[in-house]
Amino acid sequence: MPTSVKLRNMLDYSTLPIIIVGGLLVLITLLAVIYILVRVYKSRKSKRKITAKELLWTKPDMAKLKKEYLAKLARIESAFETDPTLIRPTYEKMSKLIRSFAYRATGIEVQKYTLYEIRSAKMNDLADLVEEYYEPEFDRISEGDARESLKKTKRMIAEWN
């Protein structure tokens, strides 16, 4: 029984599916390029905002700022003296206080920085103090010499230039 196979030319088939798939590929590529360009534009725009914010910062009156933060530190110290078992909350408050003070004194948003970023910003004294807070602040059992840390924090605020 003889069989014959007749092959059809490629252009005998409909070209519509090929055009549709090609069009979809072009559309997806275009959307990807537009997405990347928008992301790059937004990142550049946000960097400009940070720069503008830094330019608007003016140095505060350091005497008033020191007085304000030493008063806040005195409240933290008196709360600790009334209940010396509150080691962790004392260290948490000191950490927030010194970071807030450094931000107001320099304009650098150190309250959002990690310890590594604070060191990278060449604020080594602040980084040492924050590092001292880390263990009592984050350990399962908070142990630390809060009185000594309070003295160091007070000294740092008083000697800040």
Other Cβ atoms less than 10 A from the Cβ of 64: the count is: 9
Phi and psi angles of residue 159, each rounded to the nearest 5 degrees, phi first: -95, 0
Is the pLDDT score of 146 beyond 90?
no
Nearest to 70 by CA among 106, 43, 94, 103: 94
Q: How far is CA 40 from CA 27, 32, 52, in A?
A: 20, 12, 19
Highest mean pLDDT among 14-18, 111-115, 139-143: 111-115
Q: What is the mean pLDDT of residues 113-120?
A: 89
With bands split at pLDDT 50, 70 and 90, how would you rate the model's confidence at 50? low
CB 99 within 8 A of CB 130: yes
- Give the least confident one: 88-97, 102-111, 136-145: 136-145
Alpha carbons 5 and 18: distance in angstroms, whole number: 25
Answer yes or no: are the C-beta atoms of 146 and 90 closer than 8 Å: yes
pLDDT of residue 121: 86
Q: End-to-end CA distance of the chain, in Å?
A: 104
Instruction: State the pLDDT confidence band at 35, using cuts at 50, 70 and 90.
Output: very high
pLDDT recorded at residue 144: 76
This prediction has a pTM of: 0.63
Rounded-to-integer distance, Cα 90 and Cα 73, Å: 10
Which residue shows structure tokens 């010194």?
Answer: 98
Q: Which of 15-19, 70-74, 99-103 has the lowest mean pLDDT?
A: 15-19
Read out DSSP for 94-127?
HHHHHHHHHHHHH---GGG--HHHHHHTT-HHHH
